[in-house]
């Protein structure tokens, strides 16, 4: 579980360094292909307060992209480009999180936006974690695709390995490189990342075989849609997607007191609770889970708001009749 522990320790460090950003793990980072980005950092823009007031959860992207607006309420089946049952399910979820309002029109359920979805993202940074550069896997193709697609403003490789000139020469010049020690939390910037052309069309590598590479052009509009989806998912998900184990050996205060990390005193390291913890572990000692509210931890360390006050949904001008 080296990469999992590396990833958590890096997220905790970044969150401490730049608390104005939002961080999430394991998010889709492709338009037409398949790509999972290890860590995404979202720099909020001017519309962030409006976004934070809507809901602490993810607003369903199809709801944002639908023809449902803040004006006259419409039936979901007519406003979504998908199967009617799917449209109703997405609309219902949008109502649950406070982005849509529901009403009855001609005996049917109709919805409208409770508020316009704001342009709240300033920039997105993708971080690919590869603790051991001696085992690069598909690293080169992944990073080349990230650069040619330019879905993220910056792309960074984070590693625990000593970075040589040979390593740097095998990576695209625009990819930043960090050397990170998960034990101490020390982060060294080996090479700064360069800004990528996120507003331009891109090229996405879909598949590579001997003597052949399948690529697909991606329009600027397609990139903008996926960037919004990535940011929205990051807002609702965060990076603490684990449950602290019900074991007396779990000591979140033993590493970064404020981060709520799943540190195990038996293994003397961070663990992956869903895989490593339980009766099969030699150090397992049944107990109540540590009293750590990970949502409260996230709210304390980032701009994410778990309990927004909500939106003022009164129609403009109604107060004049009070």
Cβ contact 2:267 at 8 Å: no
Residue 50, pLDDT score: 94
Residue 256, pLDDT score: 61
Q: In this predicted structure, which of 159-163, 211-215, 300-304 has the lowest mean pLDDT?
A: 211-215
201 SS3 class: coil
Across residues 121-132, what is the average pLDDT?
A: 96
The model's pLDDT over 40-94, given as tens digits with 9 standing for 90+, comes to 999 999 999 999 999 999 999 999 999 999 988 999 999 998 899 999 999 999 9
**The token pair that represents 1 in the structure block:** 């579980």
Q: What predicted TM-score, i.e. pTM, was given to this entire model? A: 0.91
Domain boundaries, the chain: 2-48+119-237, 60-113, 252-291
Q: Is pLDDT above 60 for 322?
A: no
For residues 320 and 146, the model is more confident at: 146
Residue 314, pLDDT score: 43
Per DSSP, 192 falls in state P
Taking Cα atoms as reference points, which of 223, 259, 201, 276 lies closest to residue 1?
276
Q: Is pLDDT above 50 for 319?
A: no
Q: Is pLDDT above 50 for 173?
A: yes
Q: Is pLDDT above 90 for 135?
A: no
> What mean pLDDT, rounded, does the chain reach?
91
Q: Is pLDDT above 90 for 313?
A: no
Across residues 13-23, what is the average pLDDT?
A: 96
Residue 318, pLDDT score: 36
The model's pLDDT over 269-302, given as tens digits with 9 standing for 90+, comes to 999 999 999 999 999 999 999 999 999 999 999 9
Half-sphere exposure of 109 (CA within 13 A, CB side): 13
Residue 149, pLDDT score: 97
Residue 257, pLDDT score: 60
Residue 33, pLDDT score: 92
Across residues 125-138, what is the average pLDDT?
A: 89
209: confidence class by pLDDT, cuts 50, 70, 90: confident
**The token pair that represents 233 in the structure block:** 């998912």
Q: How far separated are the first and last CA of the chain, in Å rounded?
A: 62
Across residues 265-272, what is the average pLDDT?
A: 92
Residue 255, pLDDT score: 56
Q: If you classify domain 2-48+119-237 with CATH, what class do you get?
A: alpha beta
Q: Which residues contact 58 (CB under 8 A, 6 or more apart)?
A: 97, 232, 233, 235, 236, 237
Percentage of residues in the chain having pLDDT higher than 90: 80
Across residues 145-156, what is the average pLDDT?
A: 97
C-alpha R_g of the chain: 22
316: confidence class by pLDDT, cuts 50, 70, 90: very low
């Amino acid at each position: 579980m080296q990469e999992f522990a590396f990833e958590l320790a890096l997220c905790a460090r970044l969150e401490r360094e730049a608390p104005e950003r939002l961080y999430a793990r394991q998010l889709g980072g492709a338009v037409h292909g398949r790509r999972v980005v290890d860590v995404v950092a979202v720099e909020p823009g001017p519309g962030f307060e409006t976004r934070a007031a809507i809901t602490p959860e993810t607003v369903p992207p199809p709801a944002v992209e639908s023809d449902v607006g803040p004006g006259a309420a419409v039936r979901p089946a007519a406003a979504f480009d998908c199967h009617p049952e799917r449209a109703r399910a997405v609309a219902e979820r949008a109502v649950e999180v406070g982005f849509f309002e529901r009403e009855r029109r001609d005996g049917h359920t109709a919805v409208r936006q409770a508020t316009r979805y704001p342009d709240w993202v300033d920039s997105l940074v993708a971080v690919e974690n590869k603790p051991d550069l001696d085992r690069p896997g598909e690293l080169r193709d992944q990073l080349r695709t990230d650069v040619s697609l330019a879905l993220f403003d910056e792309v960074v490789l984070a590693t625990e390995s000593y970075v040589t000139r040979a390593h740097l020469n095998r990576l695209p010049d625009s990819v930043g490189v960090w050397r990170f020690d998960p034990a101490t939390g020390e982060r060294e910037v080996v090479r700064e990342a360069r800004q990528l052309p996120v507003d331009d069309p891109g090229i996405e590598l879909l598949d590579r075989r001997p003597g052949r590479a399948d690529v697909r052009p991606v329009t600027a509009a397609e990139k903008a849609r996926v960037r919004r989806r990535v940011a929205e998912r990051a807002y609702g998900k965060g990076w603490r997607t684990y449950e602290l184990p019900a074991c007396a050996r779990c000591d979140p205060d033993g590493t970064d007191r404020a981060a709520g990390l799943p540190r195990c005193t038996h293994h003397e390291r961070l663990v992956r609770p869903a895989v490593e913890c339980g009766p099969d572990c030699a150090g397992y000692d049944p107990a109540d889970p540590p009293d750590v509210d990970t949502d409260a931890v996230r709210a304390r360390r980032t701009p994410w708001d778990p309990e927004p006050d909500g939106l003022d949904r009164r129609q403009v001008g109604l107060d004049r009749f009070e």
